[in-house]
Amino acid sequence: MINNIVILGIQWGDEGKGKIVDLLSKKSDFVVRYQGGNNAGHTLLVKKKKIILHLIPSCVLHKNVTAILGNNVVVSLKALLKEINHLKERNIFVQKRLILSNSLSLIFKYHISIDQAREDENRKSSIGTTNKGIGPAYEDKIARRAIRISDLYNKSYFKKILKKNVEYYNFQLLNFYHKKVVSYKKIFSETIFQFNQIKHMIGDVSSLLNSEMKNKSKIIFEGAQGSLLDIDHGTYPYVSSSNSSIGGVCTGTGIGIKNIDYVLGVSKFYSTRVGNGPFPTELSDKNNDHFSFIGKEFGATTGRKRRTGWLDLVILKRMININSLSGLCLTKLDVLDGLKEIKVCIQYFNKITHQKFDNYPLNKQDWKNIIPIYKIFKGWKEKTRGIKNFDQLPKNAKRYINFIQKFTHVSIDLISTGPERDETIFINHNLKNFI
Ligand code: GDP
Ligand code: IMO
Ligand code: MG
């Protein structure tokens, strides 16, 4: 019996996690974000109504579900309140069904200023961050100077640590980056004002989840970003600053690994990436235009055009292992409709050593020297958008899907054939208990 599911991205983010969390959270009791911040952009489309969530879990359309932000989510109170109010304007009220971990770290204006200053400074080798202050906020946490949400209960303590951090960051902003400094007084008063609006939401997430798991409550853990943006397992240094792969669930919520019932890895049937860094199967031909425009590949957070490419099974296999996936969810099949041929990377070739290899390059330099080796499949002309039954898919689509399953040795449990909630094929019917 599956009581809880981890839903995480296994590419460079934007795999369609939001749609799948929304789909599977209807009968859940809780949906928990365990890492990242408002760098995420998760899109829900239900009956043509579109909602993009950055911080709040993707279960908001189901009124009986409680949303939780775990201890390793980094939170800008300003961004959180903006999102709560934006939802309110759409008649979605989350104030009474949102819980914030007492130990989550906060993002302040100085994190955002430093993030932007660094990106400007290193323009040639920049990461291409979302400029939301994510990296600096996680640095503070590791350096043990982060301000946690529960520090705000004690105003004079908060004042003291805020002052110290503002001095630290203003020194860098002014002397190293030659940028504008931030005002400590302004941050203090704004933060207290914001805190008063959300302090009733703060709770002990770890205790709550552990006792709910004993009661067999239904829980979804919602990943942000994707495993290739994981600080440890991704394409470092072109990554985000948290563990977006499976380990992040335990460290980011305070539950143990034995409690996880099922891990669903989400990947598109092709690849995209926003920001800089290695992307072996990247396209720049007419197929890039096809993916961009038919797949609407523009960032949900920054609006940037996403880079596009073929599906890379070398990478996928590694991410399947790292996350010990129970099943795969493949999305955006409909975007492949009409392509003459579909390529899928099954091996790499090293331009320097002239060797073929089956694994992920282990250092930054090697990424530059690899060329993908492709297997080519015939495309199909039929429309797959909205198909809900595997048997109804075109023959060539089935061939491509069966190959992915055989190559990766993991069962394809869900297939998404359109952005709407119900445009989905359930292959593993156990997952239907969640809808
Ligand atoms: P997330 O960050 O993983 O939640 O993904 P995003 O929301 O950033 O990007 C995924 C985009 O693809 C969104 O615009 C979704 O509405 C859309 N989408 C999800 N699944 C499908 C699908 O099967 N077909 C199509 N055409 N669009 C999809
Ligand atoms: P979701 O949850 C795609 C990328 C940025 C940049 C790198 C570091 O919607 O899948 P950061 O601001 O985190 O320091 O940027 O990570 N990035 C994402 N790309 N989807 C996301 O989230 C992302 N969150 C961060 O573009 O390359
Ligand atoms: Mg996204």
∠ CA(171), CA(163), CA(175), 5° rounding? 5
- For 389-395, the CB contacts below 8 A with 24+ separation are 389/425, 390/415, 390/425, 390/427, 393/333, 393/425
Instruction: Tell me which residue has its CA closest to atom 6 in ligand 2.
Output: 129
Return left, alpha or beta for 195; rule: phi > 0 is left, psi -120 to 50 is alpha, else beta: alpha
314 in the same domain as 209? yes
- Is the pLDDT confidence value at 123 over 80? no
| Element housing 205 (H / E) | helix 205-214
CA of 9 to the centre of ligand 3 (A): 10
208 in the same domain as 192? no
Average pLDDT value for residue range 122-127 = 83
Give the model's confidence band at 363: pLDDT under 50 very low, under 70 low, under 90 confident, else very high. Answer: confident
Backbone φ and ψ for 226, nearest 5 degrees, come out as -145, 165
136 in the same domain as 16? no
Cβ 212 under 6 angstroms from ligand 1: no
Active site residue 14: yes
Instruction: Tell me which residue has its CA closest to atom 25 in ligand 2.
Output: 39
CA of 88 to the centre of ligand 1 (A): 23
Q: Which domain holds residue 420?
A: 4-95+204-434
CA of 289 to the centre of ligand 3 (A): 19
Give the model's confidence band at 119: pLDDT under 50 very low, under 70 low, under 90 confident, else very high. Answer: very high
- Is the pLDDT confidence value at 430 over 90? no
- Is the pLDDT confidence value at 130 over 80? yes
397 in the same domain as 250? yes
For residue 343, give the CATH number of its domain.
3.40.440.10
Backbone φ and ψ for 224, nearest 5 degrees, come out as -115, 165
Q: Token pair for residue 281? A: 């199967």
Domain boundary pick from 200, 218, 240: 200
Domain boundary pick from 174, 200, 226: 200
154 in the same domain as 58? no
Domain boundary pick from 162, 185, 200: 200
pTM tops 0.85, yes or no = yes
Tell which one of 274, 298, 306, 307 to mutate to probe ligand 2, the residue whose CB is within 8 A of the most ligand atoms: 274
CA of 53 to the centre of ligand 1 (A): 12
- Is the pLDDT confidence value at 109 over 90? yes
188 in the same domain as 335? no
Cβ 130 under 6 angstroms from ligand 2: yes
Strand order in the sheet with 66-69: 202-203, 98-101, 66-69, 30-33, 219-226, 4-9, 262-268, 327-331, 412-416, 424-426
Instruction: Tell me which residue has its CA closest to atom 16 in ligand 1.
Output: 419
Count the domains in the chain: 2
Annotated active-site residue in 22, 29, 42, 115:
42
